[in-house]
Structure 1
């Protein structure tokens, strides 16, 4: 479950895709002169590297080879660090009771040997060798209530991740000065926030509320869904929201491994295969301790894969280029020739 608040077009609190956070709106101004300088520097850098690799720039073979290995090492280290930042470390996110979804952030089948899952509430974890399939015959009920007061140019929303075939019924109080928008996907949510609803195609439907407002959402595609309440009233309006969700679940009969977690147990550790089709799925219990569940995952690196990708392969690719440099790129002897010419022009050499 995701919850967010906003007002006055200045900012919004809440999270996208199952996590809480702070959303701020910042404007950055870049002068055209700054962009031109950046482009010039980039072009010059590319030309400089190309002139060295193509043996156009005059220099000794030792220096040319040294620069080649420095450039390769810099590129490899930078790429490795970027991948490590996106894969390794702890990924914190939030979930709701009865949530069932794939773990997608900070997990990579090639670079993760195993994934450790932990939570503040009980959950079940599964691994699949292929895309998990939704079983429409397996359903789970989840009901929750919210209370808020709205006035002026403000908005508040609640979001849920729902699998295909699920149904969500929203019953709330309201007023003709409060509208509700049904939004699919975190990118559309952000588009709505940036434009205050004045965005083409960023929401599925919009309705003016009433004291007995009801809306039914039939989910045709698995995704995050948000119920955004937006007020234009000059006075305070109290809003009570009741959400009744009938969730479909994945068919776990084809799962390749399974782990049950309780807060007093050790975290679930799941082996990750090299198959790009493998998925890790978690399912929170309906009798959890909290309405908003904190979860976190940690990827254990596959060390030998890092060694192959960022050490062995670059070395094997750079070694032949080094040989070509040594064989075909001649040393720059212009300074030596200049010194010889200078000696020939000395007075004592004329006698």
Structure 2
């Protein structure tokens, strides 16, 4: 049985004029101050817009860089790839381990419920322990509910409920169970019945959530109420003091008479009866764990469920697989870069004119240059003779000096 108290919330939001509201009137001083403030505000707004534009550009650059959408060196792209691979592997490992590492299942006297088993993929075995002596059962399939056999359990509770507060008691009930209540209260009060945590949590935030509860009673003085359970779940019985006037707290005395159905335990593989802990090996076959707390237990106690990790599965999924992905992406980047550089080199070489051995070159040269793939002697380009150069110059600008005259003048 779970128990708690809380304050009633209506979900309304109060609005008003903070610090008072004023109106009417015109003042020249106020007008001038307003104009000056408007000009200052406009100037500061322009500065903020410029700063915002620069910040936006910087943010866009960061986004483009970290998403590898901007031009960058292949080495930088590869480093970013491995950064994301390692980061993703670490985050996934931590989240998976945290999700499967530990869980708590609340259990009360006379409760019988199925424990949500951790993932068999990531858990090698499951260890369960409880501070009370309880029974553990492990089966291959989810057991059926025997509605013909019930056990009776009685719980007496009481409380003083102040104005605009509530107090609740909760039970985990199997399909086919029945709850009878006999109550004595000092004044009128409202009783709600909730199925599951979702509707109850919504009602806690807004008491006007009319589709959150299964049933509502207005109780006066004393009487009885009864409710049949049509679906297995956690059920909450909430007593709410919704008086609009300041009145003394209301005394509530309630007796819950539970007729509880049970699971059929015919196909049980492992039994850990009347013990604090139990270990269940997960060998790849689906297994269902059922826990039962005896009726004579005196207090509630959660069952702790621990998952012992399957190390090789973590290694395969979060170490080996990311490395394979990172290597594939790295090879793809390297090959694409080589292909791109090769195509650019081919385009640059296509602009160079290669002279064959049969072509004749004209002009003046001051050294011997060998062309052709075989470096043949007939491909040697030599400077023109003096007589040939003399004929060319005579045809363009008249008679040049003789060789002897030119050399004599040069030595002088």
With normalisation by structure 2, the TM-score equals 0.65
Give the alignment partner of residue 138 of structure 1, picking from 137, 141, 149: 149
C-alpha deviation, 1:152, in angstroms: 0.9
Could you say what secondary structure the match of 1:262 adopts?
A: strand
**Structure 2 residue runs without a partner (length 5+):** 11-55, 342-412
C-alpha contact (below 8 Å) 1:177/1:232 kept by paired residues: no
Aligned to 1:286: 295
1:270 aligns with 2:280: yes
Q: What is the CA deviation profile of residues 96-150 of structure 1, one whole-angstrom value per residue up to 9, with x for unaligned ones?
A: 1111112227x22221111111112221112233333222233222211101011
Change in Cα spacing, 1:249 to 1:191, as seen in structure 2 (3 Å) is same
Q: How many residues end up aligned between the 2 structures?
A: 294
Question: Hey, what's the Cα distance between the residues in 2 that align with 1:200 and 1:47?
Answer: 49
Aligned to 1:199: 209
C-alpha contact (below 8 Å) 1:123/1:260 kept by paired residues: yes
1:230 aligns with 2:243: no
C-alpha contact (below 8 Å) 1:140/1:248 kept by paired residues: yes
Could you say what secondary structure the match of 2:191 adopts?
A: strand
Within 5 Å, give how 1:169-188 maps onto structure 2: 169-174=180-185, 177-188=188-199
Give the alignment partner of residue 51 of structure 1, picking from 52, 55, 68: 68
Q: Rg larger in 1 or in 2?
A: 2
Give the alignment partner of residue 244 of structure 1, picking from 254, 257, 264: 257
Question: Hey, what's the Cα distance between the residues in 1 that align with 2:301 and 2:151?
Answer: 17
Select between 40-49 and 253-262 the one with higher mean Cα deviation.
Answer: 40-49
More strand by share: 1
C-alpha deviation, 1:205, in angstroms: 0.6
Aligned to 2:173: 162
Aligned to 2:89: 76
Aligned to 1:349: none
Could you say what secondary structure the match of 1:252 adopts?
A: coil
C-alpha deviation, 1:296, in angstroms: 1.8
Change in Cα spacing, 1:51 to 1:70, as seen in structure 2 (3 Å) is closer
C-alpha deviation, 1:43, in angstroms: 7.9
Give the alignment partner of residue 309 of structure 1, picking from 298, 314, 317: 317
C-alpha contact (below 8 Å) 1:109/1:278 kept by paired residues: no
1:324 aligns with 2:324: no
Question: Hey, what's the Cα distance between the residues in 2 that align with 1:41 and 1:224?
Answer: 52
C-alpha deviation, 1:305, in angstroms: 1.3
Question: Hey, what's the Cα distance between the residues in 2 that align with 1:200 and 1:283?
Answer: 34
Question: Hey, what's the Cα distance between the residues in 2 that align with 1:157 and 1:81?
Answer: 37
Could you say what secondary structure the match of 1:108 adopts?
A: coil
C-alpha contact (below 8 Å) 1:175/1:209 kept by paired residues: no
**Structure 1 residue runs without a partner (length 5+):** 11-38, 334-351
Could you say what secondary structure the match of 2:79 adopts?
A: helix
Change in Cα spacing, 1:330 to 1:241, as seen in structure 2 (3 Å) is farther
C-alpha deviation, 1:330, in angstroms: 4.9
Question: Hey, what's the Cα distance between the residues in 2 that align with 1:283 and 1:302?
Answer: 28
Question: Hey, what's the Cα distance between the residues in 2 that align with 1:133 and 1:318?
Answer: 49
Could you say what secondary structure the match of 1:121 adopts?
A: strand
Q: What is the CA deviation profile of residues 191-220 of structure 1, one whole-angstrom value per residue up to 9, with x for unaligned ones?
A: 111112x10310001001122232212111
Q: Which has the higher contact order (CA 8 A, sep 6+)?
A: 1
Could you say what secondary structure the match of 2:94 adopts?
A: helix
C-alpha contact (below 8 Å) 1:103/1:281 kept by paired residues: yes
With normalisation by structure 1, the TM-score equals 0.76
C-alpha deviation, 1:293, in angstroms: 2.2
